């Protein structure tokens, strides 16, 4: 099976990811011909921005008007959408090469099996990027990686499409999709959760969220650059990197005093900091002492949280 060198591209779903990909592919010269979404408005808005692109009401109309169709819908809708479309080369008026691709990092490509059973190529195209839904994404995605799961002609086409976005193709070992995606959260949404914890703690000092983010976002940006320059152990700063046991001890005591899970979260992150510090050519002399302080605090926090948990009714 072969695909045209410039395949016609279609999208089902017109949300954050579809906005970036549809614009990015179109700017790179690919014909983005058809878009459908749950609501007609979303499809029309995106199609109108692209130009020479039709907005449709049903995914089937996208399949009939494109060579490669990207399912850019929430993960829970991938399987049901794949079941609703039919691949019919006579109706599509092409030589018999067409493909259905989803963009999820966590969901298996096998969700698209109904399309494969009708002769379509199937694949996964997962950009490692947190899409904000605005046009700035098209520039910012350059240099990112896209995990591609496909064979033969579709793999070649998806690698070329990743290149059109100025991204690097990446492949995941078979069966590794769920772990790969779970781990990638630490470089995206969980980084936001770390910032949210900082904001929450700073609120007790009278800062609002805007003030706190203005203060710490440049620090995060610098940290990311230093990580790229020096690697993770080399970039590590803070009390663990210096072997300041008493600072770690006092901060854990303070957070334990605040209640909730603040101390447990800090202790778990500090565990990772200890592991990074141990990877340095010369770890801080106090690293074992810090380790003990952290593990003792974590045990106290988990005892308290578990005690609270066993008293509280489980959520249904």
104 binding ligand NAP? (CB under 6 A): yes
Q: Give the one residue of 7, 10, 13, 284 binding ligand NAP; rule: CB under 6 A.
A: 13
17 binds ligand NAP (CB under 6 A): yes
Q: Check residue 49 for interaction with ligand NAP (CB under 6 A).
A: no
Judged by CB under 6 A, the residue of 1, 28, 113, 130 near ligand NAP is 130
3-state secondary structure the chain: CCCCCCCCEEEECCCHHHHHHHHHHHHCCCCEEEEECCCHHHHHHHHHHHCCCEEECCHHHHHHCCCEEEECCCHHHHHHHHHHCCCCHHHHCCCCCCEEEECCCCCCHHHHHHHHHCCCEEEEEEECCCCCCCCHHHHHCCCCEEEEECCHHHHHHHHHHHHHCCCEEECCCCCCHHHHHHHHHHHCHHHHHHHHHHHHHHHCCCCCHHHHHHHHHHHHHHHHHHHHHHHHHHHCCCHHHHCCHHHHHHHHHHHHHHCCCHHHHHHHHHHHHHHHHHCCCCCCCCHHHHHHHHHHHHHHHHHHHHHHHHHCCCCC
Residue 103 or residue 273: which is nearer to ligand NAP going by CB? Answer: 103
Q: Does 12 bind ligand NAP (CB under 6 A)?
A: yes
Q: Is 158 in the site for ligand NAP (CB under 6 A)?
A: no
Task: Figure out which of the listed residues 4, 27, 39, 215 binds ligand NAP, where binding follows CB under 6 A.
Answer: 39
Select from 35-43, 164-172, 230-238, 269-277 the region that touches ligand NAP (CB under 6 A): 35-43
Choosing from 9, 14, 22, 68, the residue that interacts with ligand NAP (CB under 6 A) is 14
- Selected from 22, 69, 103, 273, the binder of ligand NAP by CB under 6 A is 103
Establish if 74 lies at the interface with ligand NAP (CB under 6 A).
yes
Nearer to ligand NAP, 15 or 233 (CB): 15
Should residue 75 be labelled a site residue for ligand NAP when binding is judged by CB under 6 A? Answer: yes
Name the nearest CA neighbour of 278 among 250, 226, 243.
Answer: 243
Contact flag: residue 127 with ligand NAP (CB under 6 A): yes
Question: Cβ 111 to ligand NAP, closest distance in Å?
Answer: 10
* Shortest distance, position 100 Cβ to ligand NAP, whole Å: 13
Binding site for ligand NAP (CB under 6 A): 12-18, 37-39, 42, 72-75, 77, 81, 103-105, 126-127, 129-131
């Amino acid at each position: 099976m072969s695909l045209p060198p410039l395949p016609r591209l279609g999208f089902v779903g017109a949300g954050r990811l579809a906005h970036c990909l549809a614009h990015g592919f179109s700017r790179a010269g690919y014909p983005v011909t058809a878009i459908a979404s749950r609501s007609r408005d979303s499809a029309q808005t995106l199609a109108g921005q692209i130009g020479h692109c039709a907005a449709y009401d049903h995914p089937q109309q996208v399949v009939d008007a494109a060579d490669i169709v990207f399912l850019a819908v929430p993960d829970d809708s991938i399987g049901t959408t794949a079941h609703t479309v039919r691949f019919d080369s006579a109706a599509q008026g092409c030589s018999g090469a067409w493909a259905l691709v989803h963009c999820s990092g966590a969901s298996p490509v096998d969700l698209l099996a109904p399309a494969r059973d009708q002769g379509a190529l199937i694949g996964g195209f997962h950009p490692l990027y947190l899409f904000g839904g605005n046009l700035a994404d098209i520039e910012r995605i350059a240099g990112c990686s896209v995990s591609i799961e496909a064979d033969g002609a579709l793999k070649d086409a998806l690698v070329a499409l990743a290149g059109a976005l100025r991204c690097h193709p990446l492949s995941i070992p078979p069966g590794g999709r769920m772990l790969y995606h779970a781990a990638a959260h630490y470089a995206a949404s969980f980084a936001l959760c770390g910032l949210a914890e900082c904001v929450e703690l700073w609120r007790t000092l009278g800062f609002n969220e805007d003030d706190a983010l203005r203060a710490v976002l440049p620090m995060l940006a610098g940290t990311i650059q230093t990580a790229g320059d020096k690697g993770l152990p080399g970039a590590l700063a803070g009390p663990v990197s210096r072997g300041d046991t008493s600072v770690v001890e006092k901060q854990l005591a303070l957070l334990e005093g605040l209640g909730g899970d603040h101390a447990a979260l800090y202790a778990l992150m500090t565990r990772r900091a200890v592991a990074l510090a141990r990877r340095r050519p010369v770890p801080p002399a106090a690293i074992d002492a810090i380790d003990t302080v952290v593990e003792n605090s974590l045990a106290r926090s988990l005892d308290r949280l578990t005690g609270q948990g066993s008293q509280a009714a489980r959520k249904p």
